[in-house]
Structure 1
Amino acid sequence: MHGHKYRDEKNGVFIPPIYQTAIFEQPGWTRKTDRGVDLKYSREENLTVESLENVITELEEGGDSLCFSSGMAAISTIYFSTLRKYDQIVLSAESYGTTLQLGEKLREFGIDVQVSWPETENIIESINRKTKLVLIEVVTNPTLRVFNIREIAEVCRENKTILVVDNTFATPYLYKPLKDGVDIVLHSLTKYLSGHNDVLGGSITSSKEKILELWDWRRMLGTIIPPFEAFLIIRGLKTFELRMEKHCKNALIIAEHLQEHPKITEVLYPGLTSNKYHDIAKKLFNNKGFGGVVSFRIKGGEEEVVRLMKNLKIIKPAPSLGGAESILTYPVISAAMTMPKDLRDKLGIKEDLLRLSVGLEDVEDLIEDIDKALASI
């Protein structure tokens, strides 16, 4: 809540305001920000954005952070700043569809792109002395596999490979990857950190030295987050821990309920003791919970999915996740849409799979809403 470090001593202001300005005064000399760079133009630095970056750094226990206009802006900045012709990058086959799509495009620039099966052992087998960069998610989207980040980080360290981890699903409430040897942590701030389904943003957290290098690329690419969006995320972060506690609690209750429902063929949630990834999730997440997303398969296919979504009253059918409102997403037409169909099928992202971002509503109301919708199929 106080990690922004903003204070206007002259006026007694301790809530970061919106510095809605493109320019800062430059009267023959230039002011410097806390990271030692020029404060003159909001494409480079902005004081509201700096306040947000301070909060993210505190949450992830890093050296410094940068905030971007979206999660994909953060990822593209990492790609541009790190990769050169003939470098090798390893990506998980189950990644956010656009992350994978952009990664595949790198082949056109002479990058060796290796797409690995989304299991810890497969990612490790793909890493060698040629590997410049590995980018994976702590929890995959949408089947919620959990990687053993500690093991992967150790192998990356041995091979002098940069490990980038997307912590969007787990969030620093559950897990702080930098403490396990990860080099760069990224977020889609659009999701849990902002928490209200009303703003786009992304972030990168790393060492001070790495962030300074990435800062110059953000300056050149123009991918900084605008100050108004930064302000909204700062406001959302004030309730972050309270929200995450409720998300996790509601999600586990719903996962356990769905597991017993006759219209459900499979529930994918690492919080269930029967889940393949339960033990590793329990180790990484320090018993604080297992996240606010539950994926499940229904009896039927696209026709039944559409009928189910039309009969929901509280839960909204939409993309994205991590907001106060519960959102039901159909992955084959949203996050996984850009994946080749044969890869989707192999990963189990089929027409019967739904992903539920469990919100902050009363959990009994959510269960009733789901049950009534399921009764229609």
Structure 2
Amino acid sequence: MTRDHRARSLGAHALAPETLMMGYGYDPALSEGSIKPPIFQTSTFVFRSAEDGKRFFEVAYGLREKDPEEALGLIYSRINNPNLEILEDRLAIWDGADKALVFSSGMAAISTTLLALSRPNDVVVYTAPAYGGTEYLFDRILPRMGVATVSVSDCGDAEVLDQTIRAAAAQAKARGGRLAAVYVETPANPTNQLIDLRAAADSIRALDQAEAPPLVVDNTFLGPLWQKPLDHGADLILYSLTKYVGGHSDLIAGACLGRADLMARVAEMRTICGTITDPHTAWLLTRSLETLHIRMERSQANAAELVRRLRGHPKVEAVLDAGGAESSPAQQAVFARQCLGAGSTFSIRLKGGEAEAFRMLNALGLFKLAVSLGGTESLASHPSSTTHSDYSPEAKARCGIGDNLVRLSVGIENVEDLYADLDQALGAI
């Protein structure tokens, strides 16, 4: 029986994403029967005819619209590659996106997307705190290119975010530009503050602007299992695939997913900037997608148990988990509407300051002291002196990033062992 390798159902039965990760978009018959896709480690692809080459370039360079059933022909691995196409097809399934594109890093995905969306005299709104590289791009790079940026730190308040969006749109109009995008990181790094995506989308749609700016969401912290931004009004989703999707701390990559018309603009910019990832990294990510749900479910279960035990610990002032017991009723309401789980990265505020935080971190035995998150191993970091070290003291205070804040990314180890490590390290304070 010939099977359609892009089928998403068996008869009337819809297949779940975790099932589709095992074979969607790949025909073993095209690769000598190999059950897994081989690595297409090539720079260029042979055309069957000169006419094929012409057709492929017409579509790739936007010289004509692609026919409904026409596939983008293979040309050159800066544009497309079988490993990337298989990976992108499977990534799009998790979020229900029209299209996915993969990049050489999370920052490559973010930078390429913002370059595709903005032009001189435009304004971009972004929520803070955010990943340090993201804020560097917004605060230092985009303004050099004539794009103004507006940061909003009290973005957990939907009214404040609405006012900021409206003010930024007015600012853009006065500059002779547009509000090019509203960029949201939720939960925020490292405080786990949530932003109401539906409220943000409604604020954008209410603007008096010919073309509504896209709502762009960095969904790295919760990943495609625990939050579905497109279901809540987002237009584009960004990921550091280095984190949960890659999940083994052995690669760097990023992704953008979303609406077809916007993705075409991002694809054009990726082709010209050359920010695409390589075939081997794409192959590793395709492998990792097969176990994504298992790893994220185990990590989240471990984190939930650690949160339960750390809350009320004599050396811990507060536990910052998404929509958790110590968050406000408004934050808990957003979590209930928007999130399917709290994920496995959270922060703790210790009783003390930097000295106490460093003593605790230096006493850890199983948790590794490293930035990043979402790997199979558990990690601990001190945001104030590392990932957010370029924040001014005022910005740190405004965003709640104190010297006593420690961020934990919980892996898939035995949870009793992980708690024993945290407990003995807290005892060193």
Output the TM-score relative to the length of structure 2.
0.84
CA displacement at 1:297 relative to structure 2: 1.0
1:281 paired residue among 335, 343, 364: 335
CA displacement at 1:122 relative to structure 2: 2.2
CA pair 285-324 structure 1, distance change in 2 beyond 3 A: same
Match of 2:119 in 1: 84
CA displacement at 1:211 relative to structure 2: 1.7
- The answer as to 2:313 corresponding to 1:261 is yes
Structure 1 gaps of 5+ residues are: none
Match of 1:58 in 2: 93
Distance 2:36 2:99 in 1: 21
Match of 1:132 in 2: 180
Match of 1:157 in 2: 205
- Does structure 2 conserve the Cα–Cα contact (< 8 Å) formed by 1:325 and 1:360? yes
- Does structure 1 conserve the Cα–Cα contact (< 8 Å) formed by 2:186 and 2:218? yes
5 Å-filtered alignment, 1:212-361, equals 212-276=264-328, 277-286=331-340, 289-361=341-413
CA pair 108-60 structure 1, distance change in 2 beyond 3 A: same
1:123 paired residue among 158, 161, 175: 161
For 1:125, give the aligned amino acid. Q
- The answer as to 2:147 corresponding to 1:111 is yes
CA pair 38-220 structure 1, distance change in 2 beyond 3 A: farther
For 1:301, give the aligned amino acid. G
Q: Percent identity?
A: 35
Distance 1:209 1:64 in 2: 10
Q: How many residues align?
A: 375
Which SS does the other structure have where 1:376 is aligned?
coil
Which SS does the other structure have where 1:328 is aligned?
strand
Distance 2:77 2:70 in 1: 15
Distance 1:318 1:221 in 2: 30
Which SS does the other structure have where 1:78 is aligned?
helix
Which stretch shows the higher mean deviation, 242-251 or 267-276?
Answer: 267-276
Distance 2:93 2:381 in 1: 31
For 1:77, give the aligned amino acid. T
- The answer as to 2:248 corresponding to 1:196 is yes
Which SS does the other structure have where 2:88 is aligned?
helix
State the superposition RMSD in angstroms: 1.8
Which SS does the other structure have where 2:28 is aligned?
coil
CA pair 348-231 structure 1, distance change in 2 beyond 3 A: same
Match of 1:21 in 2: 42
CA displacement at 1:271 relative to structure 2: 4.8
5 Å-filtered alignment, 1:147-186, equals 147-159=195-207, 160-186=212-238
- Does structure 1 conserve the Cα–Cα contact (< 8 Å) formed by 2:319 and 2:326? no
CA displacement at 1:18 relative to structure 2: 1.1
Output the TM-score relative to the length of structure 1.
0.95
1:7 paired residue among 18, 24, 27: 27
Larger radius of gyration: 2
Which stretch shows the higher mean deviation, 359-368 or 29-38?
Answer: 29-38
Q: Deviations over 1:236-280 (max 9, x none)?
A: 111111111112111111112111211111111125333222231
- Does structure 2 conserve the Cα–Cα contact (< 8 Å) formed by 1:101 and 1:339? no
Distance 1:81 1:267 in 2: 38
Q: Deviations over 1:42-64 (max 9, x none)?
A: 11111101111011100110101
Which SS does the other structure have where 2:90 is aligned?
helix
Distance 2:415 2:324 in 1: 17
- Does structure 1 conserve the Cα–Cα contact (< 8 Å) formed by 2:126 and 2:152? yes
